[in-house]
């Protein structure tokens, strides 16, 4: 069975610091995709970044990067130069080959302090 | 271009009543999904649809019914609402050739 684990229920970071949100996954399928979504207090789910299991390089999108360590089955989200607007819930999710559904972790609540 | 809209955004109902949550997309994405979000569980898939008239169960389908007669609409019906169905419901879509699912704004449902 596929599973996503986010071990940090909450994190507090000073503005302008970099932050790493942890995500580990479990699957026996060789082909899969990993996603990060942001959920601000307004409630919507915002797509941030995607990494395919066969991608050779770590994905980057602006201030977001995904630290993909395949052997360790981890897909940590790195936010550089954090901003107050980064305060939100962050969800890691996985899709495996042949399935269209996403399996989500329980989320990490990130709070950026001024 | 609204993308994905969900209605109603908030709904209060009573146990035993039938409730239908609507999802509409303007992108013509082939895939549509319904997830529920509960504290401590993240998001869990209820049903999904690969195309009009094609639907399949997700992780937590019991008590729900879906249909997809048109590509742009994917209604979710709670046939007889229970308190355990109090949740936030998200509709999502995905183009067949893409990886990313895009989510609607969500519907907050309270079953008394």
DSSP chain B: ---EEEE-SEEEE-TT--EEEEEEESS--SEEEEEEEETTTEEEEEEEEEETTEEEE-S--TTEEE--SSTTB--EEESS--GGG-EEEEEEEE-TT----EE---EEEEE-
Work out how many CB contacts closer than 8 A connect A with B: 52
- Chain B closest-CA separation from residue A71 CA (Å): 22
Q: Measuring CA to CA, how many Å separate B8 from each of A22, A46, B5, B21, B104?
A: 35, 20, 9, 7, 12
Q: Which residues of B touch A40 (CB under 8 A)?
A: none
| pLDDT score at B90 | 97
- Chain B closest-CA separation from residue A97 CA (Å): 11
Report how far residue B52's alpha carbon sits from residue B16's, in angstroms, rounded to the nearest whole number. Answer: 29
- Bridging pattern class, strands B4-7 and B19-25: antiparallel
Task: Nearest by CB to B31, from A44, A100, A105: name it.
Answer: A100
Contact of A37 with chain B, judged by CB distance below 8 Å, is answered with yes
For chain A, what is the radius of gyration of the CA atoms?
A: 14
Report how far residue A90's alpha carbon sits from residue A79's, in angstroms, rounded to the nearest whole number. Answer: 11
Q: Which residues contact A92 (CB under 8 A, 6 or more apart)?
A: A4, A6, A21, A23, A25, A34, A35, A36, A75, A77, A104, A105
Residue ranges of A 47-76 with Cβ closer than 8 A to chain B = 47, 50, 52
**Omega before residue B8 within 30° of 0, cis:** yes
| Per-residue pLDDT band at A99 (split at 50, 70, 90) | confident
Mean pLDDT of B23-47: 92
- Chain B closest-CA separation from residue A14 CA (Å): 26
| Per-residue pLDDT band at B84 (split at 50, 70, 90) | very high
Across chain B, mean pLDDT equals 94
Report how far residue A87's alpha carbon sits from residue A59's, in angstroms, rounded to the nearest whole number. Answer: 22
Residue of A nearest to B43 (CA): A104
| pLDDT score at B69 | 94
Q: Which of A40-44, A86-90, A98-102, A108-112 has the lowest mean pLDDT?
A: A98-102
Is B88 within 8 Å of A43 when comparing Cβ atoms? Answer: yes
> With 90 as the cut, is the pLDDT of residue B96 above it?
no
| pLDDT score at B1 | 60
Q: Measuring CA to CA, how many Å separate B67 from each of A38, B20, B28, B47?
A: 29, 11, 16, 10
Beta-bridged to residue A24, according to DSSP, are A5, A74
Contact of A95 with chain B, judged by CB distance below 8 Å, is answered with yes
Report how far residue B73's alpha carbon sits from residue B34's, in angstroms, rounded to the nearest whole number. Answer: 12
Contact of A44 with chain B, judged by CB distance below 8 Å, is answered with yes
pLDDT digits (tens, 9 = 90+) for A30-84: 899 999 999 999 999 999 999 999 998 999 999 999 999 999 999 999 999 999 9
| Per-residue pLDDT band at B98 (split at 50, 70, 90) | confident
Report how far residue B45's alpha carbon sits from residue A52's, in angstroms, rounded to the nearest whole number. Answer: 21
| Per-residue pLDDT band at A1 (split at 50, 70, 90) | confident
Q: Report CA torsion sign: B7, B29, A65, B37.
A: positive
The enclosing H or E element of A46 equals strand A46-52
Is B43 within 8 Å of A91 when comparing Cβ atoms? Answer: yes
Contact of A106 with chain B, judged by CB distance below 8 Å, is answered with yes
> With 80 as the cut, is the pLDDT of residue B70 above it?
yes
């Amino acid at each position: 069975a596929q599973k996503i684990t986010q071990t940090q229920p909450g994190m507090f970071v000073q503005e302008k610091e970099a932050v790493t949100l942890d995500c580990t996954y479990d699957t026996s399928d060789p082909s899969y995709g990993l996603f990060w979504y942001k959920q601000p207090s307004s409630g919507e789910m915002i797509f941030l970044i995607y990494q395919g299991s066969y991608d050779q390089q770590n994905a980057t999108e602006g201030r977001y990067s995904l630290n993909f360590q395949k052997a360790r089955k981890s897909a940590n989200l790195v936010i550089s130069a954090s901003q107050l607007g980064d305060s939100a819930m962050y969800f890691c999710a996985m899709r495996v080959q042949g399935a269209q559904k996403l399996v989500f972790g329980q989320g990490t609540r990130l709070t950026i302090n001024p | 271009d609204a993308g994905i809209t969900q209605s109603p955004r908030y709904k209060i109902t009573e146990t035993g009543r039938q409730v239908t949550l609507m999802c509409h997309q303007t992108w013509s994405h082939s895939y549509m999904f319904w997830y529920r979000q509960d504290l401590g569980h993240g998001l869990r898939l209820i049903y999904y649809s690969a195309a009009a008239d094609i639907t399949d169960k997700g992780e937590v389908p019991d008590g729900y019914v879906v249909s997809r007669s048109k590509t742009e609409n994917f209604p979710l019906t709670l046939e007889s609402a229970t308190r355990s169905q109090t949740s936030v419901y998200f509709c999502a879509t995905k183009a067949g050739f893409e990886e990313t699912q895009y989510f609607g704004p969500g519907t907050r449902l309270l079953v008394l």
